[in-house]
Structure 1
Amino acid sequence: MKYLKKYKIPFSGLSTGKHNFEFDIDDAFFACFEHSLVKKGNLTALVELQKQENMLIANFNIKGHIELHCDVCLRTFDAPLATKERVIVKFTHDEWDQESDEIIVLSHNDYEFDISNLLYEYINVCVPHYPKCSEQGENIDCDPAMLEQIADENDVENESKEDQLDPRWEALKKIKNN
């Protein structure tokens, strides 16, 4: 997890106002998360951090490409990804159990803000439920050879089902036609 140290923003020395940070997200980043939906990608996260007296407001703008596997033809393809998110960081001395997706609570003793988990979540939420070359890829269609093989397999299955008709159904069809 030493690799993720570069995704920490030391805010304690920053003056009040807006500050911009840029983070590169690559294959090594995704390797740090065992169950990530994305294993490879090349993204850039622009983070605008607005420091105020009692809180931080972080605006994330993540753009780039991630590698996905098509659920139809099994081809690996690059899919564009672009998302904007916002999170508010509040500081407190007490235990605060009312965190939400948009509000994070840190202690007044904290001096840096780790954004690695937020980046991971924002990227993985953008992964489509049903990745498909022709829908999420850029200028790419599903592999025609694989689609043909799938169609042939379906034809063979349908023919075998028709050949195995139960004779009782045939008798019922004769009754229906009378």
Structure 2
Amino acid sequence: MQIVKYLKQYRIPFSGLAAGKHNFEFEIDDKFFDCYEHSLIKKGQLKADVEMQKQENMLIVNFHITGVIQLTCDVCLSEFESPLDFHERALVKFTDEDWNQDTEEVLVLSKTDYELDIAGLLYEYANVRVPYYSKCAEQGMNQSCDPEMLAKLSSEAADAEEDNTEEQIDPRWDILKNIKNN
């Protein structure tokens, strides 16, 4: 129930607005991402500037989202801040018919609806921007991988390689393999 209450602040009541452009600002923080169980983003500080153009039969909603999200490096496992700055657009059509065919860019609302819930859109737009492969040096701000962790990883890789070569050299295994063939 708390989740639903928190996400209510991401609704835009458009029924009383005059035709034309209207601007809104929304803060997106850790609490927002906590509302979504499977969110790729757990921590972040984003600001969404939303411009809504109200027309008779539709809304044109432009999003400009900026800020930083917390990612974990896939190489050295350290957490780092990654900047985000992007634009998105959604079209909202009004209809009296039973319409279940929302597309990626066109949302459909009933003519009796009076507010637009953009929480799902903000969540989707931010999570789509999470890179498939996170690396400090590539997505971080003037940051490189943790040298101590890289040294540990390279020494463990060298140890594992030594173990593999020792197994290949040991002639006892070759003799045991021949027993299986008899």
List structure 1 runs of 4+ shifted beyond 3 angstroms: 166-170
Letter in 2 for 1:94: E
Q: CA deviation at 1:96?
A: 1.2
Q: Which residue of 1 aligns with 2:180?
A: none
Which residue does the alignment assign to 1:8?
11
User: Structure 1 residue 51 and structure 2 residue 61: aligned?
Assistant: no
Please list, as runs of the form range in 1=range in 2, the aligned pairs for 1:90-105 lying within 5 A after superposition: 90-105=93-108
Match of 2:136 among 111, 126, 133: 133
Matches within 5 A, 1:111-122: 111-122=114-125
- Structure 2 residues without counterparts, runs of 5 or longer: 175-182
Matches within 5 A, 1:142-161: 142-161=145-164
SS of corresponding position for 2:155 = helix
Distance 1:98 1:71 in 2: 37
Alignment correspondent of 2:32: 29
Which deviates more from structure 2 when the two are superposed, residues 159-168 or residues 57-66? 159-168
CA shift at 1:82, angstroms? Answer: 1.2
Structure 1: gaps of 5 or more residues: 171-178
One-letter amino acid of the structure 2 residue matched with residue 114 of structure 1: D
Mapped pair 1:79 → 2:82: yes
Q: TM-score, normalised by structure 1?
A: 0.93
Tell me the number of residue pairs that the alignment of Structure 1 and Structure 2 aligns: 171
Following superposition, the deviation at residue 97 of structure 1 comes to 2.8
1:66-100 Cα deviation digits (max 9, x unpaired): 00010111101110011110000000001113320
Which amino acid letter does the alignment assign opposite residue 39 of structure 1? K
* TM-score normalized by the length of structure 2: 0.91
Identical columns (%): 59
